[in-house]
Chains A and B, each alone.
Chain A
Amino acid sequence: MAHEDYKDMLTAQALDALEAPAVRDLEAHLQGCAECRLQLSEWEDTAAALAFASLEAKLLEPSRQLRGRILDAVRADVKALETTKQAEDGHLQPVNVLPLKPSRTWSSAQTWGAIAAGVVLVGLVTTLFVLWKQNREARQELARLTEQVRDAQQQMIQQRDLIEIVAAPGARMRELAGTKVMPGAHAMIAYDKTGRAILMATGLPPTPAGMAYQLWFIAGGKPMPGRVFTTDASGAGTFNDQVPAEALSAAVFAITLEPKDGMPAPTGAIYAISGT
């Protein structure tokens, strides 16, 4: 195989899309070809940029070690709380607490014992408070991580939907550019021939209370309502929708700001719109 043949394989190698025998041949060539090694590195930069086309924009999930550490801490806290409660209920007497004998007058030893018991009680209360606080923090952390995992699962589903739609025969993609209302807005809609669609929007400002963005399909001058959606803190939003049959062959797509439950016809300003 000639040098030029290997050069043609570099883009596929950067995408990790070469078949195994071709990878072996190319790797053997790369060992002796500095030019191809340099070009492969540049193509890998281009391929890596595709990661930013992903729908995912946040930490997906905690590492296994972090998750295990948090769960261990919660279990230890719960066990400590149960032990302390049993001690207070008398089921498990702490070894350093002296039982008080019924007596009208306290001896010196009894007085010191009472003081010691008081100190132990204060210590137990303090320990209980610290454990309660740690337990509460651990539960809050777990709730936050659970929310992150839920978000990640939702994003993975949308990523899968995007791939399925894009890979379907007859799939189409249209770009929506920001209008003068919001020049930085941008969106892309991909849909297959059945109308199954996914829209990815960025650069949209947070919606005012009681308002939401709404997608519109405009065919033959007639706007048909799509779903309403909101954006995250970074101004991005992704959702699935269904392109009406009338709009499948030729349509203009637009995003407007509407009341949060959506409108049957557009009433608000257009933030992004596709070409005709």
Chain B
Amino acid sequence: VKDTLHSEQREIVQRALAKLPEEQTRILILAYFEGLTQSEIATKLATPLGTVKTRMRSGMIKLRELLGKEIKSLH
């Protein structure tokens, strides 16, 4: 049951991520899973720091909209 619940939660988040622009998803994944700062991401992707900041913020806003009420049930 725990595995099934976890699988559903994972699917919800993966569906949401799949709906984000790829550049935003990439930045969120690098920040969250790789633990990179905004400057480090900018260097790694050869992208201006301001662009990274904008995409990170836009990605989080969009992710929150997509997850909506699901967020509380994920925790």
Structural contact, A47 and B32, CB atoms closer than 8 A = yes
Structural contact, A14 and B60, CB atoms closer than 8 A = yes
Q: Collect the chain A residues with CB atoms within 8 Å of residue B70's CB.
A: 49
Structural contact, B63 and A53, CB atoms closer than 8 A = no
Structural contact, A19 and B75, CB atoms closer than 8 A = no
Extra pairs beyond A45-B72, A57-B3, A234-B3 (18, CB < 8 Å) = A46-B64, A47-B60, A49-B13, A49-B63, A50-B13, A52-B13, A53-B13, A54-B10, A58-B3, A163-B29, A166-B29, A167-B26, A167-B34, A186-B15, A202-B11, A203-B7, A234-B4, A236-B10
Structural contact, B37 and A11, CB atoms closer than 8 A = no
The size of the chain B interface, using a CB distance under 8 A, is 46
Q: Collect the chain A residues with CB atoms within 8 Å of residue B14's CB.
A: 52-53, 186, 188, 200, 202
Structural contact, B71 and A173, CB atoms closer than 8 A = no
Q: How many A-B residue pairs have CB under 8 A?
A: 127
Of all chain B residues, the one with the shortest Cβ separation from A17 is: B31
In the complex, what distance in Å separates the CA atom of A166 from the CA atom of B36? Answer: 14
Q: Collect the chain A residues with CB atoms within 8 Å of residue B71's CB.
A: 45-46, 49
A159 at the A/B interface (Cβ < 8 Å)? yes
In the complex, what distance in Å separates the CA atom of A200 from the CA atom of B14? Answer: 9
Structural contact, A202 and B10, CB atoms closer than 8 A = yes
**Chain A residues close to B by CB (< 8 Å):** 8, 11-12, 14-19, 42-43, 45-54, 57-58, 159, 162-163, 166-167, 169, 171-173, 175, 186, 188, 200, 202-203, 232-236
Q: Collect the chain A residues with CB atoms within 8 Å of residue B39's CB.
A: 19
A11-B57 contact, Cβ under 8 Å, with A53-B17, A167-B45, A173-B25: yes
Of all chain B residues, the one with the shortest Cβ separation from A174 is: B18
Q: How far is the CB of A152 from chain B (nearest CB, A)?
A: 15
Q: Collect the chain A residues with CB atoms within 8 Å of residue B75's CB.
A: 45, 48
Q: Collect the chain B residues with CB atoms within 8 Å of residue A49's CB.
A: 13, 63, 67, 70-71, 74
Structural contact, B3 and A233, CB atoms closer than 8 A = yes
Closest 5 CB pairs of A and B: A234-B3, A234-B7, A175-B18, A11-B60, A17-B31
**Chain B residues close to A by CB (< 8 Å):** 3-4, 6-7, 9-15, 17-19, 22, 25-26, 28-39, 41, 44-46, 53, 56-57, 60-61, 63-64, 67, 70-72, 74-75
* The one of B11, B13, B33 that contacts A163, using a Cβ cutoff of 8 Å: B33
Of all chain B residues, the one with the shortest Cβ separation from A233 is: B3
In the complex, what distance in Å separates the CA atom of A169 from the CA atom of B26? Answer: 10
In the complex, what distance in Å separates the CA atom of A173 from the CA atom of B12? Answer: 16
* The one of A8, A15, A46 that contacts B67, using a Cβ cutoff of 8 Å: A46
Q: How far is the CB of B2 from chain A (nearest CB, A)?
A: 9
Structural contact, A46 and B63, CB atoms closer than 8 A = yes
Q: Collect the chain A residues with CB atoms within 8 Å of residue B22's CB.
A: 171-173
A-B contact pairs, 22 of them (CB 8 A): A8-B57, A11-B56, A15-B32, A17-B31, A17-B36, A43-B64, A45-B72, A45-B75, A49-B13, A50-B29, A50-B32, A52-B6, A163-B29, A163-B34, A173-B22, A175-B15, A186-B14, A186-B15, A203-B7, A232-B3, A234-B4, A235-B4
